[in-house]
Structure 1
Amino acid sequence: MAARAGVSIATVSFTFSQPHRVKSATATAVLEAAAELGYVPSGNARGLARGRTGAIGIFSFDYMVDGSGDPDPDSVAADAASTSANTFPLYVDEVQYGAETESRRLGYALMLGGARTLPGEHAVTDIVGRVDGLITFSGIVPLEMMRGFAGRLPIVELSGEVRLEGVHTVTVENEAGMRAMTEHLIDQHGAKRICYVGTSTTAEFAARYEGYSGAMRDAGLAPQPPLESRPAREHTTIAAISGQLTLGMPDAFLFASDQEAIVALRLFEQLGVSVPRDVKVASFDGILAGLLVSPTLTTVQQPMHAIGRAAVGVIVDALAGRPDIRHVRLPLALRIRQSCGCGGTD
């Protein structure tokens, strides 16, 4: 390639690794020679030379898997499944999109891995061995494994609280956001009996329940124990709501995630329950699907793209030598729409 372009081997190397050091006309000649020869720079070779892979890993749960097993990707069943609510871009997908765009902007590749694609420990270990830094969602990687990884590469844990010294975090104001939504239902709609639907098994979901409970107590109302439900486990959401309806209709249902709220809206339609006339509905996350259901979903908006971008930024700063462990906390916003009775579209 150097001979074809009429330059030195060092100039070819600089054109691909440090293009700012090469004159524009020279770089053009090198790139034209590369195109003629079908040359593509080897990421592996460049990684060996730099002692880096040039990749950042993101390891997540998969909310689009319902636990019943994946269909054959070439089957009609797989095509049919692609139209279900659980295959719509969700929280995890939006965070990954933010991480991917920021990685690309900063010159890194992004490697994706999921806790259900392989047995969890093997899958994350496989990723760690191939990347310069790791982003993981809260609670997926066991603490002992995380402790071992943190000695080898920078790690950012998303959505939860600080679990381990030496691990960066990027999270949101889960408790404050759910408190604000509960206060909206109480102050603006006079709701007194608000049922909370969701799990509290992870730090972020526990914080959301605390936000609801605190707002209820401050208003002189009794918080209800959470009705156990999990995102992407539709049967748990349906069972939680159905069980409550046998005891009576509350003033409002407050859901820990938009996915659960969307399942509920579909169930209410089937049962002939009018939202928001018969019951108010609000939730948390701000996924795009909340704008496409009827009524549109009142929710606490997470800055999902910003979460992904911030996590990549923390990793890249650490790789550049920034020594401090960072704990980034991003703000939230209420999106007041139709399901609570306000009639807004955003």
Structure 2
Amino acid sequence: MEKRRATVYDVAERAGVSIATVSFAFRQPERVKDSTREAVYRAADELGYAPSASARQLAGGSQGALGLYAFDMVLPSDRQGSSETLDTQVERDLDAGLQLGRFPLYVDEIQHGFQLESMLRNRSVLIGSAASDDHVATMDIAGSIDGLAMFPGTEMPQGIAKVAKRLPVVVFSRPVSDAFFEVRVDNVAAIHELVDHLVEVHGHRDVAFVGGLVAPDFVERFAAFQDAQRRHGLPVADAPFDSTALTGARLAGVREAIAAGALPDALVCASDQLALTVLEFLGAHGVNVPRDVAVTGFDGIAAGVAATPSLTTVRQPFVTMGRLAVRILVGDEEVTGTRKHILPTRLVRRASCGCREGED
């Protein structure tokens, strides 16, 4: 027999407050004093309760909706309202181009696959973002959907383990516990193939890593890079050559190397988004790619094709990742038998490493 789902009445009783106070704690937390609010959250966690949307409260069944959320991937400045006029916003937006570094571009491609598979399965999609420490937002998400796929950012959101006890949760691009489903790629094999190409095909011996170790996938890629250096008998780096993160200070290590005339033979960037910034930066400083230095990325976003030169990269199967997440969330038995789905990648050779356009 299925265990009865905890209700607002259960939480109120456990916390020793009224049901109105429970509602305010989740919907208007500023109206509840800190100690009371924490008592409500603690009771909700212990009971596995999430505030339900009205349809679920009435029917006690499925919402027919799946959630796709990104945590901590928006800059604080982007979360604030703007007092600019519409014309000023449009002008600034047009001048900003891709706004590299402001939001991970690969998210759009996974979202495309997620929405496509949801449409085919007659499911609606709730898309949004939240801060990882926003307990209210996390619980609100769980109350509106039948399953959640998420981009966790630099750390797992608070309260998400409680959500996973009552809903299936898919996490993209990081290793997770068996409480969640995991959809990511084989970073180790991908980086080994990339470094092998730079060393064995192009003869580079001074190969450096660019990217701050701000996320688990970047950490895994750098560890694989160190291992690849070791396998080829190259000096093994203790830390990235340049630790620029997507929203951090811009390319201090690369800048210093240019000034000293000491650029490596090749730069392996932790992501395409960072690699595109590197290409733009090198070009602005008169450095020719790939003649002076080869540059590679990781992800395979569409913007890499249009870059000058076009970007050599590792392609992740983003659309497949999004579609796979939906299949997991709707309970497709073919894919729910395992918690960890680690997908292959493909090396895409383009001009930025010295290969001819379209060369396989």
TM over 0.5: yes
How far has the Cα of 1:81 moved from its partner?
Answer: 2.3
1:264 maps to 2:278: yes
How far has the Cα of 1:133 moved from its partner?
Answer: 0.6
Amino acid at match of 2:67: G
Q: Which residue of 2 aligns with 1:314?
A: 328
- How does the TM-score come out when normalised to structure 2? 0.75
Amino acid at match of 1:131: I
How far has the Cα of 1:52 moved from its partner?
Answer: 0.7
Confirm or deny: 8 A CA contact 1:89 1:288 kept in the other structure: no
Unaligned runs of 5+ in 2: 1-52
Confirm or deny: 8 A CA contact 1:296 1:345 kept in the other structure: no
How far has the Cα of 1:50 moved from its partner?
Answer: 6.7
Correspondence 1:23-34 to 2 at 5 A: none
Q: Which residue of 2 aligns with 1:52?
A: 62
Query: Comparing 327-336 with 193-202, which one deviates more in the overlay?
Result: 193-202
How far has the Cα of 1:115 moved from its partner?
Answer: 2.9
Rate the CA distance shift 1:178–1:74 in 2: closer, same or farther, 3 A. farther
Rate the CA distance shift 1:214–1:101 in 2: closer, same or farther, 3 A. same
How far has the Cα of 1:104 moved from its partner?
Answer: 1.1
Q: Distance in 2 between matches of 1:89 and 1:153?
A: 26
| One of 83, 87, 100 as aligned partner of 2:115 | 100
* SS of aligned partner of 1:215: helix
How far has the Cα of 1:123 moved from its partner?
Answer: 2.6
How far has the Cα of 1:283 moved from its partner?
Answer: 1.0
Correspondence 1:190-339 to 2 at 5 A: 190-224=203-237, 225-226=239-240, 227-231=242-246, 233=247, 236-247=249-260, 248-317=262-331, 324-339=337-352
Q: Which residue of 2 aligns with 1:153?
A: 167
Rate the CA distance shift 1:223–1:68 in 2: closer, same or farther, 3 A. farther
Confirm or deny: 8 A CA contact 1:62 1:114 kept in the other structure: yes
- How does the TM-score come out when normalised to structure 1? 0.78
1:178 maps to 2:152: no
Q: Percent identity?
A: 34
* SS of aligned partner of 1:96: helix
Rate the CA distance shift 1:105–1:169 in 2: closer, same or farther, 3 A. same
Tell me how many residue pairs correspond in the alignment: 298
RMSD, aligned α-carbons: 2.8
Confirm or deny: 8 A CA contact 1:59 1:124 kept in the other structure: no
Confirm or deny: 8 A CA contact 1:138 1:202 kept in the other structure: no
Confirm or deny: 8 A CA contact 2:118 2:326 kept in the other structure: yes
Question: Rg larger in 1 or in 2?
Answer: 1
Please give the per-residue CA displacement for 1:310-346, whole angstroms capped at 9, x wherever unaligned: 111111116x899745211111001100000112236
* SS of aligned partner of 2:351: coil
Q: Distance in 1 between matches of 2:161 and 2:355?
A: 47
Please give the per-residue CA displacement for 1:293-324, whole angstroms capped at 9, x wherever unaligned: 11000000011111111111111116x89974
Confirm or deny: 8 A CA contact 1:298 1:338 kept in the other structure: yes
Q: Which residue of 1 aligns with 2:6?
A: none
* SS of aligned partner of 1:192: coil
How far has the Cα of 1:267 moved from its partner?
Answer: 0.9
Q: Distance in 2 between matches of 1:291 and 1:313?
A: 30
Rate the CA distance shift 1:183–1:268 in 2: closer, same or farther, 3 A. same
How far has the Cα of 1:121 moved from its partner?
Answer: 3.2
Q: Distance in 1 between matches of 2:133 and 2:299?
A: 28
Q: Which residue of 2 aligns with 1:78?
A: 89
Unaligned runs of 5+ in 1: 1-42
How far has the Cα of 1:45 moved from its partner?
Answer: 5.4
Amino acid at match of 1:214: D
How far has the Cα of 1:241 moved from its partner?
Answer: 1.7
Confirm or deny: 8 A CA contact 1:115 1:140 kept in the other structure: no
